[in-house]
Amino acid sequence: MSDERNTPFGPEPDLERRVGQLGDDPEMLELRADAAVRAREAELPGTGPRQEKVLEADAAAAAEQRRQRRYLVRALLRSPTFMTGLIIVLFWVFMACFSTLITQDPYAQDALNSLKAPSPSHWFGTDDLGRDVFARAMAGARTVLIIAPLATILALLWGAIIGLIAGFWRGLTDEVMMRLIDVLLALPIIITSILILSLLGSGTAIIIVTIGALFTPVVSRTVRAAVIGEREREYVMAARLRGERSAFVMAREILPNITQPIIVEGTVRLGYAVFTAATLSFLGFGLAPPSADWGLTIATERVFLQIAPWTVLFPAAALASLVVAVNLITDGLGRVWSK
Amino acid sequence: MLRLIGRRLLLMVPTLILASMLIFALAEVLPGDVGRSILGPYATQEQVEILNKQLGADKPLYERYLAWAGNFVTGDWGDSLLLKVPVLPTVMKALGNSLVLAAFALVIIVPTSILLGVWAGLRRDSVLDRTITISTLSMTVIPEFVSGVVLLYVFAVWLKWLPVTAMPPDGAPFYERLYYLILPAIPLMFLELGYIARMARVGTVQVLAMPYIRTAVLKGLPRRRVVFGHVLRNAMVPTVTVIGSQVGWLIGGLVVIETLFVYPGIGKLMVDAAQTHDIPLLEASVLMVAILYMVSNLFADIVVALLNPRIRAGA
C-alpha cells in the first residue's frame, strides 16, 4: 500500500510473479542446487579421501563465488546508469565531508549583501541573511547523507531480524508479527512520521529511528519472502538435521544466501529515505535553522521565490540530483543482478 | 463479488480499530502528559493539571480511549484547542478541499501516464522509449516539493501563465477554481507518473507479444484499430491495478503540496495541528485520513476484482 511499490527504476517488473524475484533466475537456482549438493556431501561422515573431496568442493565453491563477484563488479563498472549514479552520489558524499573546507562559511551572515543574484564572489547568489547559497547547497548534503543511510541500515537490520524469524518459524509467530507490521502500514508513512516527530520532538536521532522503524515493515516482508524461498532447500535441512540452533541456521546459513535481495532492497529504501527525510524537513518536522538542510532551506526560502529564485532553485536541484542518482544506482544494480 | 466486498469490509473493522489505537497511543501516550504537551515547557504544573482535568486526561487510559472512540463514532469530535471551533466541520471542509484537488490530479494523472506508457511500449527500445521512461521515472523519484517549487518558478513567476496561489478569491466560479488547481496538481501527477506509465508500458509490451495481436496485424487490421481495439484494452488491466495501490502516495503528496501552495486541505490542517499540538484536531484529521485511505484501498481492490475474473472467482 503506502510504500508497497518497488523503486520505479530497475528491471522490468514481472506482472505475473511477485515474490522472490531476484533469487529465482535459472542461473542462481543452479548455483544454489550445486551448493546444496556440496553441503549434503560435506555433511556425510567422511573417511580420508572423502574429506579431501569435501575440501576440493569447498575450494571450487569459493573460486566460483570469487568468479561471480568479479563478473558482477565488471558488469557494474560497464553499466552507464550505475556509474552515473555512483559518481553523483560520491560527489555529494565528498561535499558532505569536506565542503566546509572548500567553500565559504555556509552559516556566515552578511546583512548588507542579502538576496544578491549569482556573481563571481557568490556563484549561486546569497540568501535572505546574506549567506552564500553555493556553500549552503553543498553543505546541505551532510544532514541528508547522515539521516538517510543510517535510517536505511536500521530498517535493514530490524527488517532482516523480523523477516528471518517470521519466515523461518512460520505459524503463529509469523502471523502475529505480520499483523503487527500491517498496523504500522495502516497509515501513509509520511503521516505516521509527522505524528511521531511532532509529539516526540525532532532531533537527528529521532528522525533516523522514526524513518528506520517505518521502513522496517516493507524490508521485513521482502526478507520474509526470500527466507520462505530458502527454508525448504537441502542446505537448510542439512543444518537442521545436524542439530544446529535456529538462530545459527537463520544467521549463518540462510542470511548469506539472501544478501542479494537484501542489498537491492537496501538501495531502494535508501532512495525513499532521502525522499522522506527531505520531505519531513520541508514540512518543518526535521531539522531546525540554521541547518543548511535542503528541504529546510526550500521551506524557509520559498517566500523569496519571486524576488530571489536562486535561493530555492539551487538547493532544489541539489536534492533532485541526489535522489535521482541513488535511484540510478538501484537501477544499475537491479539490471546487472537480474541478468 | 458481494461476498468479496463484504469480507473486505469486515476485515476493515479490526484494522480501523487498530489504527485508531495507534493514533490515540501516538497522540496521547507517547508525549507522556497531554496537558504538558499542549501547554509547553513553560506552564506551571498546576496549569497542566487543570487542563488535564478539563480534557479528562487524568482518567485511566482505556477509559479515555473508549470515550474518544465513542465520541468519534457519534460525531462529537470536540473543539479545536487552538482555533476554538468544532473539529468536525473544520475537518470535513478541509477534506472536501483535498478531495477536489485529489480528484483533479487523478483526472490528469491517469490519461497522461497511460498515454505516455503505451506510446513508449509501442516504440519499445527506441530513443523515444528511453526518453519517456527515464524522464517520467526521474519525475517520480524527485520529491514533490522540489518539482513544485521549480514549476511554481517557471509557470507562475517567470512565464506568469498560472497563478501563484492555489485558491481563487472568494466567490469565484468553479471552473476558475480548477484553473488555480493546475499548478498544484502537476507535481502530484509527477509523483505517480513514472510508476503508472511504467506499468502501462510493460502491459503494452506484453500484449504486443500475444498471438492475437499478430493475428490482428496479419489479417490486415489498420494499426489504429490494433492499438485502440486490442493493445490499449488489454494493457489497461495491470495499469488500473497499480493506480489503486498508489493512494498512500497521493495522500502523502497532498500533505506536502497543500503545505507548499498553502491550500486549505486536510494535509495542511494536519501539519498545522501537529505543529501547534492541537491534539483533538490532529487525532480527528489523522483518523479521517486513515479511514479514507482504507476505503480507497478497498475500492481499488474491488476495481481489480472486477477487471480480473480469476480474483473475482477465487474470492
The beta strand positions in chain A, using DSSP E, are: none
- Residues of B within 8 A of A298 (CB-CB) are 145-146, 149
Distance from CA of B279 to the nearest CA of A (A): 10
Overall size of chain B counted in residues? 315
To test the contact with chain B by mutation, choose from A180, A191, A192, A327 the residue with the greatest count of B C-beta atoms within 10 A, namely: A191
In whole angstroms, what is the distance from residue A279 CA to residue A288 CA?
14
Q: Find, in chain B, the residue whose alpha carbon is nearest to that of A276.
A: B143
- Residues of B within 8 A of A302 (CB-CB) are 149, 260
- At A120 the three-state DSSP class reads coil
- Tell me whether residue A80 is exposed, middle or buried, using C-beta atoms within 10 angstroms of its C-beta: 0 to 12, 13 to 18, 19 or more: exposed
- For every one of its 315 residues, what pLDDT tens digit does chain B have, with 9 covering 90 and above? 777 778 878 878 887 888 888 888 877 765 656 677 667 777 777 877 787 777 666 677 788 788 888 888 887 787 777 777 888 888 999 999 999 999 899 888 888 988 899 899 888 888 898 888 888 888 888 999 999 999 999 998 888 888 888 887 777 788 888 889 899 999 999 988 888 888 888 888 888 888 888 888 898 888 888 888 888 877 777 777 777 777 778 888 899 999 999 999 999 999 988 888 788 888 888 888 888 888 887 887 787 777 766 666 654
In whole angstroms, what is the distance from residue B80 CA to residue B278 CA?
7
Interchain CB distance below 8 Å, B149 and A312:
yes
A46: how many CB neighbours lie within 10 A of its CB?
Answer: 14
DSSP state of A19: S
Angle between helices B232-244 and B87-122 (to 10 degrees): 150
Q: Is B234 on the interface with A (CB under 8 A)?
A: no
Is the distance from CB of B255 to CB of B271 less than 8 angstroms?
yes
To test the contact with chain A by mutation, choose from B23, B133, B145 the residue with the greatest count of A C-beta atoms within 10 A, namely: B145
In whole angstroms, what is the distance from residue B57 CA to residue A288 CA?
31
Cβ within 8 Å of A, B 139-178: 140-147, 149-150, 152-153, 157, 164
In whole angstroms, what is the distance from residue A57 CA to residue A44 CA?
13
- Residues of B within 8 A of A271 (CB-CB) are 141
pTM: 0.82
Q: Is B202 on the interface with A (CB under 8 A)?
A: yes
Q: Find, in chain B, the residue whose alpha carbon is nearest to that of A270.
A: B141
